[in-house]
Amino acid sequence: MAKRSAAAPGYPIRAVARLTGLRLDTLRAWERRYAVVRPARDERGRLYSAADVRRLQLLASAVDRGHAIGRAAPLSNAQLEALLTTAPGAAPVALRSGADAALQPLFAALETYDSAAVERELNRLSMRLKPRELVQRVLFDALRRVGDEWHAERMTIAQEHILSAAVRTLLGSMMNVFARDDVPRRLLFATPGGERHEFGILAAAMLAAAGGLGVVYVGSDVPGRQIVDAAARSGVDAVVLGVLNTSSSRDARRHVDYVAEHLPGRIELWVGGVLSKDAQKTLAARHVVVLPRFEDYERHIVTHGARF
């Protein structure tokens, strides 16, 4: 299994401010007064590790819920996570039955086209929820609702684009924060040529990283030949392809078939999405792991070493 030989790159302070929602002067003050993190430095300034970013996110969330930074700073990450779960007086994020209440601030920001507020609200939710809850009960619900509102002509395509961009940024950032070198398995994620719907596979990649697996994310609408080449060169253990519906896209089906036929035998192929029964049977006959529902994918990565 291939490993990265070079150290993971650090995050400059402006990137950390974006990931945590903290002001630059707040970051500097917390470091100076409370030594909450000890970033490395190069000729351009501070460089924060993924662990630094995660700790700052926890501290920012604790302060957001009314805790003084002076009292939160000495706590370990595990203590901060417990604090965020049980903090007295904190209103819990509504899930499933109360999803609308949880999404109200997000949609209020979308109503006024406030992209910065949309990003802040998504970051806030990401710090209060476990990755699986964030994906299943917030992000997917929000994207689905915006799609419904757009089709009903109650929201605009510009508002849909604002949310899509913010979700894409959040998932990519979380994937980087969770990245690690000592992983039991490495997976390559893509959608095949002709499939431009990216959020399912991007969320799947983030959850794999959050569960402690290695992730190679190559994006959407990737030709089958290039997927096979990337898998062989990167040394991954499995390729995960996301499709919206192979029965409605001949192009996507053709690229999936190419990957199934040409992928080196040591590399597994997993295909998730809304698959026709015919597509499922054909792929299963080629020893492809078929994962029709997102819950199936979650259970499958647990059997391959993911821990939530």
* Number of domains making up the chain: 3
Structure tokens at 162: 């604002």
For tokens 């529902």, name the residue: 293
| Of 33, 41, 78, 40, the residue nearest 58 (C-alpha) | 78
- For 89-113, the pLDDT digits (tens) are 444 443 333 456 678 889 999 999 9
Please list the pLDDT of the chain residue by residue as tens digits (308 residues): 334 334 455 889 988 888 888 888 889 889 988 889 999 888 888 899 988 998 998 898 888 777 888 888 888 888 888 777 654 444 444 333 345 667 888 999 999 999 999 998 998 888 888 898 899 888 998 998 888 888 788 889 999 999 999 999 999 999 988 988 889 999 999 999 988 889 999 999 999 999 999 999 999 999 999 999 999 999 999 999 998 765 456 778 889 989 999 999 899 999 998 777 777 788 888 889 999 889 999 999 999 999 87
Distance separating alpha carbons of residues 71 and 57, to the nearest angstrom: 16
My answer on whether 55 and 102 are in the same domain is no
Is residue 219 one of the residues assigned to a domain?
yes
Is residue 8 one of the residues assigned to a domain?
no
- pTM listed for this prediction: 0.72
The packing angle between helices 115-128 and 157-178, to 10°, is 40
Which residue range(s) make up the domain with 31? 13-86
Q: What angle do CA 142, 143, 145 make, to 5 degrees?
A: 65
My answer on whether 77 and 128 are in the same domain is no
What is residue 110's predicted lDDT score, i.e. its pLDDT?
93
- For 178-201, the pLDDT digits (tens) are 988 889 999 999 999 988 889 999
Number of neighbouring beta carbons within 10 Å of residue 208: 29
My answer on whether 66 and 19 are in the same domain is yes
- For 260-290, the pLDDT digits (tens) are 999 998 999 999 987 777 777 888 888 899 9
My answer on whether 107 and 75 are in the same domain is no
Rg (CA), the chain: 21
| CATH number for position 152 | 1.10.1240.10
